[in-house]
Structure formats: C-alpha cells, structure tokens
Structure 1
Amino acid sequence: MARRGRRGFTMIQRISVAAGLACILAACSPPSQQQSGPAPGATAAGSLQPGQYRTVVTMLEMNMPGMSGQNINMSPMTTEDCVTTADIAEFTQGNMVDANSGETCTQSSMNTAGGRIQGQATCTGPYGARTMQINGSYTANHVEMEITSTGDMPGGGGQMTQRMRMVTDRIGECPAGESAD
C-alpha cells in the first residue's frame, strides 16, 4: 500500500528510513502505469477491510561491497496506521510505490488481484538505477510481502541488494478522529 502515514511518508519509505537505507529502498512510483490488476472502479476493495493495521518489517538479507552475505541483526520495525477505503482502492489497482525527488520510475508490472501481490518497478535518479521486486499475498485482514531491492550505491560504490519481509495485520477500527472512509 503506497499510503502516506501521519508523518507524510509512504509505508515503504518508512521501512527504508528505519532500515537506514533510504537512498536505496525508498519506493518509486511510475509516471504511467502498466498494470495487470483490476481496472479502476473494478477493484477488489471488498477483499481488504479498512481499519487500524500494524505492520512489522524484518530485514532478511543485505549484500553490498565489503558486506556480502552478512546477517542482518536489526530489530524488526513496527508501525501502526489507519488504512482507508481510498488506500485500499489504490492498493488493489496496483499503485504500490511512490517516486523520490529527482527520480523517474516505471512499473513494468504490478498485479494485486485475487489475493496475490506480484510486481516489479525500476527507478533511475541521481544515484543511479534500482529495481524492486515485490511478491506476496493478502486476505481481508492480512498483507504479507517480500521485497527485494537491487540498486547502485551512491558515489559509484557498487551494487547493493536487500531483501525484507513486511507483514501487516488489521488490529481493529481506526482510532477516534482518524476515519477509515
């Protein structure tokens, strides 16, 4: 879900900041969409329920020059957000990623239909190119994705590859004052 939380960051951008790797993992959004998911107005919005969701992000692997094969001993990052019907419509239409400043991104494929999430996006910008591969699944109250990001390190330092898991569960209604509509 490329929804913006209370701090103005998309979910994947918050993940990136927490991992200390925003220059590589921050999400990107395509200027034009090529999606194989439902057409606008024909979303699977009934498949996901709006409400308060808890997301746990775990870094699984990180490889970069001088650090290949290192185990990542980072604590999982946990956040909570109110997910609205508009967020769900965006998600089920394949709008999974947002652009960073100065980047041009293309989404070569994104499918969020039938309880499956699959896609790939490529971004180019001041620090080079990076590609994100997203695979996962969702039910009415649960989203699970594995995201692999490969990109150029700033300053020509070589390639960096990261793999993380994101698990999101509905934990109830949105708090008073935060509408899920």
Structure 2
Amino acid sequence: MRPFILASFACLAACGSGDTVEMTNASAGDVAKEMGKSDVAFVSPGKWQQTASLLEMDVPGMPPQVAEAMKKAVGTSQVHETCLTEEQAKRPKEDFFTGAEKNCRYEHFKWGGGKVDMKIVCTEPQATKTMEMTGTYEPNSYQMAMAMSGQGAQPGQTMNMKMRVDAKRIGECDGRES
C-alpha cells in the first residue's frame, strides 16, 4: 500500500486554482487529460512542503507486536518536500494521480472552486484499494482529509487508514527536495 500512499501525496501537490474538472467513472488517463487541457496552472510551481499526519490505522488480524507498533504510529506526522515544475503544474502525467497503479478508476472526481472531492478504486488480482480525498486549496496551500482502505483476496487481509495532509509552497525549487 505504500506506493499508493506516496502517489496520493504527489496528487495533492497538484491542488490549486483554475478550471473546474468534474468526472464520474473515469480512468486515471481521462482525468489527467482533463486536468491538462487548461493553460492555467492548477498550482503554483515551486518547492512544496507536505505534512502527513496519521490519524487512524486498523489492520485486523495482525500479530499483537505489529498491532502495537501501528498504534504507536497513530498521531505521528511525516514531512516531505517536493519540487513541482511549471510543466508539471500545467500538464500532469497520467500517473501523477495514481503512481504505478494501472488498474484504477475514479468513481467521482471533482476539482475546482477551491475544493477537492474524489474517490478512486484500484483493483489487482490479489487486492482492491480505495482512496477518498476531500479538502480545500489555494494556489500556495492545501488541506486534505484522506481515507484509504485495502481488501486482500484472503479473509483477514484488510487495512483502513485515515490521514490529514497539510501543505504549503515554501519557495523556489533548489534541488534539495526529497
């Protein structure tokens, strides 16, 4: 699930002002094409700092020592810096929103007027992953609530997680982003 989470953070870096995009039952490629049609950048390019806070995590059936480690992770935050070029801000690639995931569809995707509301489902032979994001944004900052769940092919292979991501543009890219 980790690549899915990191891809979600990349998606969040794309928040900003501009045209409204609203789609249902759409592929990641279709959403990326719609997002890339406008000449208006959806965010300000530059160096962004994202703080992701883990609010809840539930993985039923985990061994007690793993469950205890997960409990300790709840309430922690990670800070990540990334550089968004002008071209990336104007024309995101298809994988900008889903990362390496190939079998994803948006149940709904609404982006505009300072608000984001989306639900994406990714299916693989052994798992289904769902991510929902809602939040608000301005050209140089955003706040998002994320809920992610995963269901494996076997009973007991489930995971539920809730996070909050706060981000702000902190300047120009300097090559030291992680």
State the TM bucket, normalised to the shorter chain.
0.5 to 0.7
**Residue-by-residue CA offset, 1:8-65 (whole Å, 9 max, x unaligned):** x7872486xxxxxxxxxxxxx9454368x966433652x5211111111111111221
SS at match of 1:112: strand
Alignment partner, residue 37 of structure 2: 41
- The structure carrying a bigger helix percent of its residues is 2
The two structures have a TM-score, normalised by structure 1, of 0.66
- The structure carrying a bigger strand percent of its residues is 2
Rounded Cα–Cα distance in structure 2 between residues aligned with 1:31 and 1:176:
29
**Residue-by-residue CA offset, 1:68-105 (whole Å, 9 max, x unaligned):** xx5743531111111112332346x9x632343xx511
Q: Report the CA distance shift for 1:90/1:10 in structure 2 as closer, same or farther (over 3 A).
A: farther
**Deviation of residue 138 (structure 1)?**
1.0
| Seq. identity, % | 23
Q: Report the CA distance shift for 1:108/1:73 in structure 2 as closer, same or farther (over 3 A).
A: closer
**Deviation of residue 166 (structure 1)?**
1.1
Alignment partner, residue 6 of structure 2: 12
The two structures have a TM-score, normalised by structure 2, of 0.67
Q: Report the CA distance shift for 1:88/1:11 in structure 2 as closer, same or farther (over 3 A).
A: farther
Runs of 5+ unmatched residues, structure 2:
10-25, 62-66
Higher RCO by CA contacts (8 Å cutoff, separation 6 or greater): 2
Alignment partner, residue 59 of structure 2: 64
SS at match of 2:112: coil
Q: Tell me which amino acid in the other structure corresponds to 1:56.
A: T
User: Which contiguous aligned blocks of 4+ residues in structure 1 show a shift greater than 3 angstroms?
Assistant: 29-32, 37-40, 70-74, 153-156
Runs of 5+ unmatched residues, structure 1:
1-8, 16-28
Q: Tell me which amino acid in the other structure corresponds to 1:62.
A: M
**Deviation of residue 169 (structure 1)?**
0.6
SS at match of 1:49: coil
Q: For the aligned residues, what is the CA RMSD?
A: 3.5
